[in-house]
Structure 1
Amino acid sequence: MIKLDDYGWNLLHKDNFSTIIEERGLAKCVPGRVILEHKRMYRVITEFGEWLSVCSGSMEYEATERRDFPAVGDWVVVEKMPGEERGIIHAISPRTSIFSRKVAGSTIEEQLIAVNVDIAFLVMSMNKDFNARRLERYLVAAYDSGAVPIVVLTKKDISDNPSYYVEEAQNIAFGTEIFEVSNITGEGLEQIRQVLQDGKTAALLGSSGVGKSSLTNALLNDQKMDVQDIRLDDDKGKHTTTHRELIIIPSGGVIIDTPGMREFQLWDNSDSLHSGFSDIEALAEICKFNDCLHNQEPGCAVQHALATGELTEERYASYLKLQKELAYIEQKTNQQARKQAQNKRKNISKHLRKHYTKK
């Protein structure tokens, strides 16, 4: 029998599961965790084994948005199909954290990256692929998710100037732990193992080729995740993860390895932007005027920091860009919500007319 404790099962999840089956009369169901997702098919680990599962008809019918469907990391209430290693998911337990982004492209829709994550490993390589603006986005998303962010700088063994990348990360991720890692020499792996205590769930987040799958392999001490040799021209692996998968680590804890994300647009408009740019927020607090717009107002601490070089133009421009991006998404989602509510009212009115016409 499989020990769900190894997959992060704890008293909170147990209480949530008990409440759901009692309130909804799902006595035949057992708890399980989604370890793999593919086109509305889910591989769920239970104490009785892995079941290829689908959502129940009522879940499909009642779903109105992406968050209503399971994602990798979810704890679900699942019922085994008679005589098969398959299951039907009836409910999702309350999530402790949600890491998401806007889907790539012009569509205004949320994409769940991982849920119920305790630690978000923000993976950047110490070479020309290092991108400060991307790291800022990852940090804001991590703060918004509820997970604890940790910056993981990989490929130290082939980096020309590791200290430069550490300093760059420190200038962005204030107060956040930074691990310098080499999957070849093993440096930094013990730090990761220490924070991945039994029951902890971590997500690996980063662009393609930064070494996420190699890092997972190093923690597993084998080659579970497919990865090929480094290309000599750009220090990138030839193959990276193409799906999200939850993997148990022998030394304790579980990791969710995610596909590389070339485009990462934030989703939720929340105070997490302030956490990701705490330096700018601190400057704004000491501006002369409370309603300072940080343009040409006298006594503007932000403009003073820009003039002295304390705050770089690139970082401030990134802050403004993310503010604008989040405001646009909020506007569009509000428009969509109004349209959905309008369509719902129309459908109700239509059904009422049919009902009274029959009478």
Structure 2
Amino acid sequence: MTQKREKNIYQNLSALGWTSFFQDQLENRHSDRVATARVVGVRKNSFAISDGQTEWLATAAGKLQQANRRYPVVGDWVLVTDTVIHEVLERKNRLTRGAAGGHGKLEAVPTRQQVIAANLDTVFIVCGLDRDYNLRRIERYLTLVYNCDLTPAIILTKADLQPDPEAFVQEVETIAFGVPVHLVSARDATGLVRLEETIAPGRTITMIGSSGAGKSTLLNRLYGKSVQATNATSEKVGKGTHTTTSRDLIVMPQGGMIIDNPGIREISFWDADKGVESAFPEIERLAAGCRFSDCNHAHEPGCRVLQAVANGEIAQERLDSYHKMNRELTYLAERQHKSADRMEKERWKDVALKIKSMKKNMKK
């Protein structure tokens, strides 16, 4: 491959978010047969991939179905020959959640992971200022994003439905410390102009939120024309339908990329990192002043957090939300640890059986 051609290839990839993090993984790999591309869409039995100049459909090699292999998701960088994806490069990060079905019941904590998107710069948490608006849900989204060590921004859509939308911004800011909160209205483009500044060339954003929150409408307005189908929200129940049924990475006129996702019904966790600590920093800060270092902030004497609730510094609903998510994540971590131990025991059991079989064959 000539240096000029190679330079052109990586210029095209850079427009899709290619960086030295991925380039370093290709060291000592030189083959004209193997192409590098990014997954820009997931279909029923195939993937839409792009090299920054051409987009085509590809299928995943059978070996990627193995449990210990990365399986392609939107945002992944892959190595492909013709129309077959052979390898998914190491991810810079990923947005994950527990597979739907277990939210709200400790005994039904998800047993498998769903990777929503990979290699992201920002996660837009989209919430409509209609019946979709819910502070507790926003807290869960923030915890989900922080658990994945990602950067959130909150987008409040449908601001034109409220006589005083700024009041909602102020309320969200009381539970989303340091997180940018953007107000978007169908009648005013001011919020869109500010959002466009975040869609810088080479940057990848994914949007999460409920059905009908206005994700696809927001994407269309930012793009300048309709690129995603939209449906009206039901006035009777205040909920939207799943207009977006697939995950697609859209290259925006501003130079960045946005991944539109289907609406999330259940915000179930999978990664159990420091999401709660990041989503509830004021409670963590106050906890340092509790009399006991292992205080649960439930009924212990000398609890600084309970004192703050009594004084009106923290809402009881926020503390309840903190406790609920802590319980979920603790239970999830314990379940995952037990599953890992069981898998390790089964692995060594298989090894022992193979050794026993080998010894038996040697005696024959």
TM-score by length of 1: 0.89
The alignment status of 1:28 with 2:24, answered yes or no, reads: no
Structure 2 CA distance for aligned equivalents of residues 36 and 184 of structure 1: 31
Q: 1:38 to 1:344 in 2, by over 3 A?
A: farther
Structure 2 CA distance for aligned equivalents of residues 316 and 226 of structure 1: 39
Report the counterpart of residue 11 of structure 1 in structure 2: 20
Report the counterpart of residue 298 of structure 1 in structure 2: 301
Match of 1:215 among 212, 215, 218: 218
Match of 1:64 among 68, 76, 89: 68
Map of 1:1-359 to 2, 5 A cutoff? Answer: 3-16=12-25, 18-19=26-27, 22=29, 28-39=33-44, 41-47=46-52, 49-61=54-66, 63-64=67-68, 68-80=70-82, 86=83, 88-105=84-101, 106=108, 107-233=110-236, 236-359=239-362
User: Which amino acid in structure 1 is aligned with residue 89 of structure 2?
Assistant: S
Structure 2 CA distance for aligned equivalents of residues 295 and 324 of structure 1: 13
The answer to whether the Cα contact below 8 Å between 1:183 and 1:215 also exists between their aligned partners in 2 is no
User: Which amino acid in structure 1 is aligned with residue 244 of structure 2?
Assistant: T
- Quote the offset at 1:4 in angstroms: 2.3
- Quote the offset at 1:158 in angstroms: 1.8
Any gaps of 5 or more consecutive residues in structure 2? 1-7, 102-107
Structure 2 CA distance for aligned equivalents of residues 274 and 194 of structure 1: 29
User: Which amino acid in structure 2 is aligned with residue 97 of structure 1?
Assistant: N
User: 1:71 is paired with a residue of what secondary structure?
Assistant: coil
TM-score by length of 2: 0.88
The answer to whether the Cα contact below 8 Å between 2:96 and 2:116 also exists between their aligned partners in 1 is yes
- Quote the offset at 1:10 in angstroms: 2.5
The answer to whether the Cα contact below 8 Å between 1:72 and 1:114 also exists between their aligned partners in 2 is yes
Structure 2 CA distance for aligned equivalents of residues 295 and 239 of structure 1: 40
- Quote the offset at 1:182 in angstroms: 1.8
User: Which amino acid in structure 1 is aligned with residue 99 of structure 2?
Assistant: V
The answer to whether the Cα contact below 8 Å between 1:96 and 1:146 also exists between their aligned partners in 2 is no
Percent identity between the two aligned chains? 35
Q: Deviations along 1:116-143, whole A, 9 cap, x unmatched?
A: 1101111111122111111111111222
Tell me the number of residue pairs that the alignment of Structure 1 and Structure 2 aligns.
Answer: 346
Structure 2 CA distance for aligned equivalents of residues 163 and 134 of structure 1: 19
Structure 2 CA distance for aligned equivalents of residues 191 and 205 of structure 1: 19
Q: 1:356 to 1:47 in 2, by over 3 A?
A: farther
Any gaps of 5 or more consecutive residues in structure 1? 81-85
Moved more, 119-128 or 102-111: 102-111
- Quote the offset at 1:168 in angstroms: 2.0
User: Which amino acid in structure 2 is aligned with residue 74 of structure 1?
Assistant: D
Report the counterpart of residue 83 of structure 1 in structure 2: none
Structure 1 CA distance for aligned equivalents of residues 198 and 289 of structure 2: 36
User: 1:172 is paired with a residue of what secondary structure?
Assistant: coil
- Quote the offset at 1:184 in angstroms: 4.7
Q: 1:172 to 1:268 in 2, by over 3 A?
A: same
User: Which amino acid in structure 2 is aligned with residue 165 of structure 1?
Assistant: F
Q: Deviations along 1:191-219, whole A, 9 cap, x unmatched?
A: 11101100110011111110000011111
Q: 1:311 to 1:40 in 2, by over 3 A?
A: farther
Structure 1 CA distance for aligned equivalents of residues 92 and 51 of structure 2: 19
Structure 2 CA distance for aligned equivalents of residues 64 and 4 of structure 1: 27
User: Which amino acid in structure 2 is aligned with residue 4 of structure 1?
Assistant: L
Structure 2 CA distance for aligned equivalents of residues 210 and 30 of structure 1: 38
Q: Deviations along 1:312-344, whole A, 9 cap, x unmatched?
A: 111101111101101111111122212222222
User: Which amino acid in structure 2 is aligned with residue 77 of structure 1?
Assistant: L
- Quote the offset at 1:238 in angstroms: 4.6
User: 1:101 is paired with a residue of what secondary structure?
Assistant: strand
- Quote the offset at 1:223 in angstroms: 1.5
User: Which amino acid in structure 2 is aligned with residue 324 of structure 1?
Assistant: R
The answer to whether the Cα contact below 8 Å between 2:122 and 2:153 also exists between their aligned partners in 1 is yes
The answer to whether the Cα contact below 8 Å between 2:242 and 2:262 also exists between their aligned partners in 1 is no
